[in-house]
Structure 1
């Protein structure tokens, strides 16, 4: 017959062994939460904020160093997370088997540990790490470094494996890490965070697409182009300049052939001095293709010191439009009002006041 005191001692000893196992299990769940939070924090952290913090914080500089080693960083986190989860499952199984037996123990382990790790080891730490990514990384980077160097041999092994896979499948490592669309999204996110105001955001977004815009997208079509016909009299030309407020106008033949450009100031000087003909003040004009990028046109305007160009379609062999430096700049900064626009606005305001009176 079994001695009751002996049985109670065995149960007590068994329960006593569960206490350190329970403590180890809690530590493993906390480590699982740490690795999950670290993974989310590294993927959510803003490089802009970290670089700003790095000016004064050494921990931020260390975080940036590990972000540059993202592959090794990720393998370290995944190795650590898998190890602690496997150990947690093993210890939990031992505890539950001792408490509820070999039949019920594994079932309780599977259900209970899954719920605990899901809530406390995955969802909660990831939500918090996403919200406070930079702060979390700066506070825990030294603790993370312990595991980074602990798993460093495994990182070297995975680096070799990655190199082998890249060689076998001929993966190009020089592919861009950031696409144009991704950069636009980053700029929008920075604006939403209050780092950029609306004007700064718009200017950056426009500068991104600036090089993709073609001359044909911004040119004035020939049907809308104001030009000087060489058969026009001086009075007609004077009226044309006054009516349209253009500082330079194309000079053309009756058949639509572009001969050059006439500057308003040169024309009025000619009228005052009366010592030359209209042909004498015609300046050379630039011809560009419709599919020329406006970034290239901008450089051409600077090089030639010109502000106006005619657009020539070489397939149809005809002039199809006109483009100015102002058209190009408006793609970056929006509508530009020159001194003539301002005068027109004043005239409109004055006329509207007169009508009201």
Structure 2
């Protein structure tokens, strides 16, 4: 009975050491693969376990030091005990070799691959409880950890690594886009689209979303009073630019709420319109949308006149236009929302040449290039490199465009359709 007791004790110790090896291995993997952003969120919410993990991760060299020291001590001790057990049964000749092979297999399966795989899949389930052991163990083994880290960090500095702390790296805009896309069902698709649109505001400028100058509805003070009165009564816009003779000579912006006082006055005069108009707010055409959104907020404005580098009016931008870039159009009816896009029964579209390319892409899900001309007319002229003397046909990517009408040196309408054959080939 007494002869078997030491052998039984060695088997128990070997089993315990394999479990400890699994603990250190899984702790290492879970600590390194845990989602730090989720961890920070939990810590800010008062989760003490998350705070302990963050404290350990603040110095990854010390964390890895205590884990690897513990793991190596456990594995070496397990190797010694396994050798003694093998010698007892197989003798001193073949015992060590069998012990090495057998323990390697056991450690590989039960102490490395299995626990590390589990920790990689469910890091939170391992990392948070493991801190109860790793924190005190770090204090006990701190002199040895300090010595090992000192030598290791010196070698790392010689290799050019100066910073050893585990501060969380900041996400770039493109990385954040990937995070939003990978969120899947955790974030509704509609919300994902809004978040992506916010991230894209920096890449979009005011002249991408403005109302072109030829589409601006305003009050020309050189018109007679009856014409101005009819415009005010029939206007579908809340704010109207007031100019004299030419759109470049803008006097102000008239809000229809103030126009009501003009209409209710005993006598309708142009001077009353000028008096009620607010001074115009001008916007450089290259202003990024995220900057302009803040400018509208700071200036307490909802509408601005877009000008180029020479001060000439290029168009008109509103707060609603920027908000639509984030939340999408306020109606899902493509034909009603995009009056320049006319669907046909054969699946093609008749699109006016003045249509904005970004609006076409958003409405139809196409990918026409947006880094050059802003309108379909400009895009076609850029590709043709000359003004067509007659209707012509061209391809841009997988979009086929057929010029339908040319008028006054302007491509007024284009028949467009997506070539499905090419789309299928690309998908394959």
Q: Report how far residue 96 of structure 1 moved.
A: 4.2
Q: Report how far residue 324 of structure 1 moved.
A: 0.8
- C-alpha separation between the residues in 1 aligned to 2:72 and 2:245? 82
User: What corresponds to 1:136 in structure 2?
Assistant: 126
Q: Report how far residue 244 of structure 1 moved.
A: 5.9
8 A Cα contact 2:30 2:127, kept in partner: yes
Equivalent residue for 2:254, pick from 259, 262, 266: 262
User: What corresponds to 2:237 in structure 1?
Assistant: 246
User: What corresponds to 1:153 in structure 2?
Assistant: 143
- C-alpha separation between the residues in 2 aligned to 1:112 and 1:238? 98
Is 1:215 aligned to residue 206 of structure 2? Answer: yes
SS in 1 for 2:301: coil
Q: CA 1:303–1:143 in 2, change beyond 3 Å: closer, same or farther?
A: closer
User: What corresponds to 2:302 in structure 1?
Assistant: 307
- C-alpha separation between the residues in 1 aligned to 2:163 and 2:121? 34
User: What corresponds to 2:16 in structure 1?
Assistant: 27
8 A Cα contact 1:221 1:322, kept in partner: yes
Is 1:38 aligned to residue 27 of structure 2? Answer: yes
- C-alpha separation between the residues in 2 aligned to 1:104 and 1:112? 12
- C-alpha separation between the residues in 2 aligned to 1:197 and 1:204? 11
Q: Report how far residue 308 of structure 1 moved.
A: 0.8
- C-alpha separation between the residues in 2 aligned to 1:50 and 1:124? 28
8 A Cα contact 1:247 1:263, kept in partner: yes
- C-alpha separation between the residues in 2 aligned to 1:166 and 1:270? 76
8 A Cα contact 1:50 1:134, kept in partner: no
Equivalent residue for 1:330, pick from 306, 324, 330: 324
8 A Cα contact 2:202 2:290, kept in partner: yes
- C-alpha separation between the residues in 1 aligned to 2:86 and 2:329? 73
- C-alpha separation between the residues in 1 aligned to 2:53 and 2:321? 45
- C-alpha separation between the residues in 2 aligned to 1:129 and 1:199? 33
SS in 1 for 2:254: strand
Is 1:284 aligned to residue 273 of structure 2? Answer: no
SS in 2 for 1:177: coil
Gaps (5+ residues) in structure 1?
1-11, 346-357
SS in 1 for 2:138: helix
Equivalent residue for 1:296, pick from 291, 297, 304: 291
Q: CA 1:55–1:287 in 2, change beyond 3 Å: closer, same or farther?
A: closer
User: What corresponds to 2:358 in structure 1?
Assistant: none
Q: Report how far residue 112 of structure 1 moved.
A: 3.3
- C-alpha separation between the residues in 1 aligned to 2:40 and 2:295? 40
Equivalent residue for 2:67, pick from 70, 77, 81: 77
SS in 2 for 1:246: coil
- C-alpha separation between the residues in 2 aligned to 1:26 and 1:255? 91
Q: In the TM superposition, what are the counterparts of 1:47-58 in structure 2 within 5 Å?
A: 48=38, 52=42, 58=48
Q: Report how far residue 22 of structure 1 moved.
A: 3.5
- C-alpha separation between the residues in 1 aligned to 2:59 and 2:162? 19
8 A Cα contact 1:326 1:336, kept in partner: no
> Which of the two has greater strand per residue?
2
Q: In the TM superposition, what are the counterparts of 1:81-96 in structure 2 within 5 Å?
A: 81-96=71-86
Q: Report how far residue 287 of structure 1 moved.
A: 1.6
User: What corresponds to 2:312 in structure 1?
Assistant: 318
Gaps (5+ residues) in structure 2?
338-428
Q: CA 1:270–1:173 in 2, change beyond 3 Å: closer, same or farther?
A: farther
Q: CA 1:56–1:267 in 2, change beyond 3 Å: closer, same or farther?
A: closer
SS in 1 for 2:55: helix
Q: CA 1:101–1:318 in 2, change beyond 3 Å: closer, same or farther?
A: farther
- Relative contact order, CA 8 A, sep 6+: which one is greater? 1
User: What corresponds to 1:121 in structure 2?
Assistant: 111
SS in 2 for 1:261: strand
Q: Report how far residue 65 of structure 1 moved.
A: 3.2
Aligned residues: 325
- C-alpha separation between the residues in 2 aligned to 1:237 and 1:113? 95
> Which of the two has greater helix per residue?
1
- C-alpha separation between the residues in 1 aligned to 2:258 and 2:184? 47
SS in 2 for 1:283: coil
Q: In the TM superposition, what are the counterparts of 1:335-350 in structure 2 within 5 Å?
A: 335-336=329-330
User: What corresponds to 1:178 in structure 2?
Assistant: 170
